[in-house]
């Protein structure tokens, strides 16, 4: 999985923006941002339709991620949801399929469905989203000997709670963290400390926020943008090398956690 990918939350919500959204995803693919994250929940499948159009004729160049809603995550429901997603995406497989968050269906039942989809070649790997450390421990027990390939959680400079235990545990376990809303839905853009660091690196505040995440081993950032220019800006965040002084300033402005906090979600 590339360390910097493309998110699609809020895509597919209006026909007028579809062409721009498709163009922004294609611009990212052209740059090498070949991980695209989507979900059946986003715009009730509309985002998957946008992704399907963007990857038409280029499926082999893309690492494709989608998600099943928790109320669909029974054994039969997971399989049906995956097949519906594949149809909207215009492909015969996704590379990674995630449980969007925990619901009423037993984890073992969902994992059984994931493993069946994997055996059929409809998914390459499976994982979860919005799982805290205790959830992950329970998942590993339920899934053994199978293991999740990733955990997608809310993580950015403003929301660093996972650094207390989940991030380090995941790194030790070799389970990548996919950071959604890496710019905190745009709230980090223009922050004065990020702007100050950005001036040193000739970078934007958004690029600095993304560069921070990319300093974390095992973390994948998936910013969403409907603008090709903004996608290109995000791509160049990977070229920034933050110094120890930069990181000190970021810790002052966005203090890391000193105690366990409930896992945040949007």
Phi then psi for residue 215, to 5 deg, are -80, -15
Q: Which domains, and CATH codes, for the chain?
A: 15-253 (3.20.20.100)
Phi then psi for residue 36, to 5 deg, are -120, 125
Residue pair 156/254 in contact (Cβ under 8 Å)? The answer is no
Q: What percent of the chain has pLDDT over 90?
A: 96
**Could you tell me the pLDDT band of residue 243, with boundaries at 50, 70 and 90?**
very high
Averaged pLDDT, 223-228: 90
**Residue-level pLDDT at 1:** 76
**Could you tell me the pLDDT band of residue 106, with boundaries at 50, 70 and 90?**
very high
For residue 162, is pLDDT > 90? yes
Cα(147)–Cα(109) distance, rounded to whole angstroms? 14
**Could you tell me the pLDDT band of residue 23, with boundaries at 50, 70 and 90?**
very high
Averaged pLDDT, 147-155: 98
For residue 16, is pLDDT > 70? no
For residue 2, is pLDDT > 90? no
**Residue-level pLDDT at 226:** 83
Supply the pTM of this predicted model: 0.95
Reply yes or no on whether 42 is catalytic: yes
Q: What percent of the chain has pLDDT over 70?
A: 99
> Which has more pLDDT, 17 or 102?
102
**Residue-level pLDDT at 165:** 97
**Residue-level pLDDT at 71:** 97
List the structure tokens of 42: 């986003």
Return mean pLDDT, the chain. 96
Q: What's 132-182 look like in SS3? A: CHHHHHHHHHHHCCCCCCCEEEECECCECHHHCCHHHHHHHHCCCEEEECC
**Residue-level pLDDT at 260:** 96
Q: What is the pLDDT of residues 63-80, one digit of tens each?
A: 999 999 999 999 999 999
Cα(35)–Cα(1) distance, rounded to whole angstroms? 7
Question: Catalytic pick from 42, 97, 155, 180?
Answer: 42
């Amino acid at each position: 999985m590339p360390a910097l990918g493309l998110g699609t939350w809020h895509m597919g919500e209006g026909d007028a923006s579809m062409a721009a959204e498709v163009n922004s995803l294609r611009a990212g693919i052209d740059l090498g941002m070949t991980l695209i994250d989507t979900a059946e929940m986003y715009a009730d499948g509309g985002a998957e339709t946008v992704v399907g159009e963007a990857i038409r004729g280029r499926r082999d160049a893309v690492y494709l991620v989608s998600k099943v809603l928790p109320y669909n995550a029974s054994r039969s429901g997971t399989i049906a949801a995956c097949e519906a997603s594949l149809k909207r995406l215009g492909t015969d497989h996704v590379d990674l399929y995630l449980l969007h968050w925990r619901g009423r269906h037993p984890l073992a039942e969902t994992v059984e469905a994931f493993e069946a989809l994997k055996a059929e070649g409809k998914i390459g790997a499976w994982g979860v989203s919005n799982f805290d450390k205790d959830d992950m421990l329970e998942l590993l027990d339920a899934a053994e000997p199978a293991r999740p390939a990733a955990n997608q959680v809310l993580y950015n400079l403003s929301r660093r709670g996972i650094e207390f235990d989940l991030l380090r545990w995941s790194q030790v376990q070799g389970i990548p963290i996919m950071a959604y809303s890496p710019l905190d839905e745009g709230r980090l853009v223009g922050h004065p400390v990020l702007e100050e660091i950005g001036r040193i690196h000739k970078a934007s505040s958004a690029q600095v926020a993304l560069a921070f995440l990319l300093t974390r081993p095992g973390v994948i950032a998936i910013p969403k943008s409907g603008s090709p220019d903004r996608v290109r800006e995000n791509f160049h965040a990977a070229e920034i090398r933050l110094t120890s002084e930069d990181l000190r300033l970021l810790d002052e402005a966005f203090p890391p956690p000193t105690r366990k906090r409930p896992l945040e979600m949007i």
